[in-house]
Amino acid sequence: MKRKFRLSTALDVDDLLLECIPYAVRLANEKYKFDPPLTIYEVDRWGKLGTRADVIFEFFSDPEFYRNQPVLKGAREFVQKLTRMTEVFVSTSIPPEFMGIRARQITEAFPEIPVDHIYMGSRKDKIQADILFDDGMHNVLNSSADYPVLMRRPWNQQASGMLAVNTYDEFLKVVEVIAESYSTHEVQHTLKEPGIVVLVGPSGSGKTTIAGQLLEQDDSFRKLVSYTTKDHTAKAQNLWYNYVSLKEFHRMCETGEMFQSTMYAGHGYGSRKADVEEILARGKHVLTTMDICGAMSLKTNFQNVITIYLKREKKTLMTRILSKNTSVEDKVNRLMAMDAEKQNITLCDYAVEYKTLDQAFDQIADILNGLSK
């Protein structure tokens, strides 16, 4: 049913609009002369870690810290674009004694946001909005918003399954896709020209197995090989990933070679734009498996991207997750994200529901055949 009113978006502030942890890290390096310098990658969880990174918390009780927080690069332009697409609110957690400082920061840096749209407090689960955009994994998991979206940062790298983005542009693409889901206008997809097909689904859905079967039976597709810093043993070095060192991975991200990247459980994962372009230039379709974050990155960077969601019964997913040879923490994170993952179905172009992988393959093959005619 077509929506008769504008979508609403609630934005976090710290490390979404204003620098917080990176700013505190710079101040800590200036004060303590760390050798080697402290980096934001050492803040891999929110809260005190029992490491040298804990010194950043001393700045969070200083009013001068809040007065001087820099506006993040691109934040002003991002808010201007977003206010043309949705009704924008701010939801920020800050100690009561600094609320006045924070209110002035927001109104001065982002005049497009009305004063009565600024909410302060830690209970973000009470904010009623269509979309929440936050870098706090706990806020995203507990949100009552229809579409909670995580901004990827080093301190939320253990997040799994939830809708997440790496940049403002990716978030704006998510908003665009959400708006389209409410529209009566049907988006037309085709594979008559080289395109990109992404299989999206929760852990345990069988994405990789189904993709491998499609590649075996349809020569018009080529797999997109991604990059990871994960163990490069014979078992881990499979046909869908190339191993790179963490140093090389960061270099590829910093130089813009990666159109999408993320850190999960201490390992980097990403894909190169040049690899996609090479496959398309050869007149072949790209086939890849990604989480919803990667799928949105593809839609942001390329045309003719078709996303197919794999919907499998919860019991099967849980069984497959629990049987994985991973840590207890990893399994818990994947299980906790299962319900949030289901929301991603509305962001995909097609969805298939199945009990066996053969059933999924047949449905996907029918979709792809129809798009090729």
CA angle 291, 270, 256 (to 5 degrees): 130
At 124, phi and psi to the nearest 5?
A: -70, -15
pLDDT band at 76 (very low <50, low <70, confident <90, very high): very high
What is the spatial distance between Cα 33 and Cα 40, in angstroms, rounded to a whole number?
Answer: 15
DSSP type of residue 108: H
Contact call for residues 321 and 331 (beta carbons, < 8 A): yes
Q: For 19-27, what is the mean pLDDT?
A: 97
Pull the structure tokens for residue 318: 């849980």
* Angle subtended at Cα 338 by Cα 335 and Cα 339, rounded to the nearest 5 degrees: 130
226-228 vs 267-272, strand pairing mode: antiparallel
Residue 122 or residue 263, greater confidence: 122
- Least confident range of 10-24, 30-44, 233-247, 291-305: 233-247
Q: Which residue has the higher pLDDT, 334 or 144?
A: 144
pTM above 0.75, yes or no: yes
Sheet containing strand 267-272, strands side by side: 241-243, 226-228, 267-272, 258-264
Average pLDDT, the chain: 86
Backbone angles phi, psi at 39, to 5 degrees: -125, 160
The confidence score (pLDDT) of residue 264 equals 63
Tokens read off for 336: 């906790």
pLDDT for 233:
54
Q: 95-127: per-residue pLDDT in tens?
A: 999 999 999 999 999 999 999 999 998 888 888
* Residue 312, SS3 per DSSP: strand
Q: For position 189, what pLDDT does the model report?
A: 77
pLDDT digits (tens, 9 = 90+) for 194-210: 999 999 887 778 888 89
- pLDDT tens, 266-324? 678 889 999 999 999 999 999 999 888 788 888 888 988 999 999 877 777 777 678 77
Residue 12 has pLDDT above 80, yes or no: yes
**What is the rounded average pLDDT of the residues 249-268?**
79
In terms of C-beta density within 10 A (0-12 exposed, 13-18 middle, 19 or more buried), how is residue 239 classed? exposed
